[in-house]
Copies of this chain bind each other. A is one copy, B any other.
Amino acid sequence: MGEAEYGGSGGMMMGKNKDRRIVVAVDESEESMYALSWCLTNLLSQQAKTNNIISINNNTIVLLYVKPPPPAYSSMDPTGYLFAGDVVATMEKYSRDLANSVMNRAEEVYRGFNTTTIKVEKKIGSGDAKNVICVAVEKLAADVLVMGSHDYGFFKRALLGSVSDYCSKHVKCPLVVVKRPKNA
């Protein structure tokens, strides 16, 4: 491996005027909203100042929400047999409502910041969160992936926590795992 030169403009990595595309995985948790807020404060609310040349990066923030996969009922499942239509419709509505609610919440968060130089895109995926996130990061050619971390003990949060472990192994870009301090 040759010696790489990291000094100088620092533009080598990002390109001084290269658009940055930052994917923020959001869900219904406070942790993910904190992660978005952290990202806006630490990665986006900035004018890059490198070697005394001030350049405003063109930043795109992609809010990525992953809906859980639709429930699968076997024809032998009495619950599915009796209620499948209603239950599935209700769950689908709930899932849509949740997605909207998460995106609205995220919108509230970034509206509080100076986002005039930031483009915001919203993407909603469906399936296993960790796979969907990794595939999306690859497809979107993200420069950074930002996600919240859930460090207390409910089953769901243990599952969500493992998403960041999985992503740290599988995404090719830098990953920011943001923990929400107890007092925030």
Contacts and interface: CB of A to CB of B under 8 A. Distances in A.
A4 B11 CA distance: 36
Interface string A20-34: 000000000010011
| Closest 7 pairs (CB-CB, A-B) | A7-B112, A46-B46, A6-B37, A10-B41, A174-B178, A6-B109, A8-B112
B7 A42 contact: no
- Most chain B CB inside 10 Å of its own CB: which residue of A13, A33, A171: A13
Interface of A: 1, 4-14, 30, 33-38, 40-43, 45-52, 54, 108-109, 111-114, 144, 149, 151, 164-165, 168-169, 171-179, 181, 184
A4 B37 CA distance: 11
Given A174-B176, A177-B177, A37 B49 contact: no
Contact of A45 (B7, B10, B38, B114): B10
Q: Is the interface of A mostly helix, strand, loop or mixed?
A: mixed
A113 B38 contact: no
Given A8-B112, A109-B6, A13 B30 contact: no
A126 to B, nearest CB: 26
Contacts of A176: 174-177
B174 A50 contact: no
Given A5-B112, A13-B34, A13-B41, 16 more contacts: A6-B37, A6-B108, A7-B109, A7-B113, A8-B112, A10-B113, A13-B38, A14-B42, A46-B46, A49-B114, A51-B114, A168-B177, A173-B179, A175-B176, A175-B177, A176-B177
A50 B13 CA distance: 25
